Structure 1
Amino acid sequence: MLPVRLPCFLLALLLAPLCHAQVQVNALKAAYIYNIAMFTTWPAVPAGVAAERSLTVCARPTLPFWESLRQLEGKAVNGRTWTLFEPGAAPRACDIVIFAGELPLPRPMDGAGVLYVADGGKAGKSAAAVTLVDEDQHVRFDIDTREAARLGLKFSSRLLRLARNVW
């Protein structure tokens, strides 16, 4: 009986760092998005809309870092509260939309002030103003300032200095 358990134990021991590394990457991507939101300026809130409204983050639960995004629920982002859109409820508006890869999204024509974040893919191939990139076992990000400006968003110069590429 011992010889059968030993290979299973060794396999579990070998896979544990990989699982732990994936959890760290997921938490890191969520933290990147949170911090990017901290250094983003959205268009002024229109009259009649509560200035203290939450910062609504829309993402699908199939994203590998969904759970890490959910753990940010209720945290403050420049005076607003991080609120992750739960599937099944209809949000009034998304402030941040997170999607995987180069999935083309409808581009708002009115400069709606929505920050699109792509996890993977190539910058400029979708509606993303920010693209998260896995590079050499690190998470990096690219920023498309033209897309951000088209949507009425501005990024802090401190954030732009940290980006891998800025267009």
Structure 2
Amino acid sequence: MSSARTFCLAGILTFFIWALISLSAHAQVDESALKAAYIFNFTEFTTWPPESLSDAALFVCVNKDSDLGGALAKLDGRTVGGRAWTVIPTPTKNGQGRCNVIVLEEEQSSNAVKDVLSSDQPILVISDSDASDHTAVIRLFTDEDHLRFDIENQQALRRHLSLSSKLLRLARNVS
């Protein structure tokens, strides 16, 4: 078995282990930590155009003062596709800064990143909002005490992102 295939299978196994943990010990798992694990795994199954990424880091933009932002910051330094996971604040002015991933939380206004949401920049936009405004590539939500996600594949294609077919199969809905 090739090392690339072994690595891919290990990633999928890790994803399923997190899902099983959430099902068997939901009350014991911190929701922000679980969401952070899902978001980290989403990035492992996403391919960006090579010219859109830094050689050294994958920049994840989030409100660092939130519980989810803190949980994502705890992953700083882990590697995704040979790049260091690096959490930075969500831009507050026009432009996307260096974001490769933007995590929008329910209480956060999307006006801060309005230009990014309407652009076709290669940014993986992940939202935990129940609103279905169809600007996010992945919408993460809780359904009957379980963490689920939907994928707007048309948004991914518009942003020149490629999502693994394995990730697409795990989504509740793909449109």
TM-score range, shorter chain: 0.7 to 0.9
Report the Cα offset of residue 94 of structure 1: 0.1
Among 115, 121, 130, which residue is 1:112 paired with? 121
Please name the residue that 1:134 is paired with: 142
Show CA shifts across 1:83-119 (max 9, x none): 000479x98410000112384433343x210011001
Q: How does 1:59-74 map to 2 (within 5 A)?
A: 59-74=62-77
Q: How does 1:1-167 map to 2 (within 5 A)?
A: 21=27, 24-45=30-51, 52-86=55-89, 92-101=97-106, 103-104=109-110, 105-106=114-115, 107-109=117-119, 111-123=120-132, 125-167=133-175
CA contact under 8 A between 1:142 and 1:165: conserved in structure 2? yes
Please name the residue that 2:7 is paired with: none
CA contact under 8 A between 2:47 and 2:161: conserved in structure 1? yes
What TM-score results when the alignment is normalised by the length of structure 1? 0.75
Change (3 A) 1:61 1:35: same
Alpha-carbon separation, structure 2, partners of 1:146 and 1:74: 31
Of the two, which has the highest radius of gyration?
1
Q: Name the count of aligned residue pairs.
A: 143
Alpha-carbon separation, structure 1, partners of 2:75 and 2:168: 23
CA contact under 8 A between 2:140 and 2:148: conserved in structure 1? yes
What TM-score results when the alignment is normalised by the length of structure 2? 0.72
SS at match of 1:58: strand
Alpha-carbon separation, structure 1, partners of 2:28 and 2:67: 9
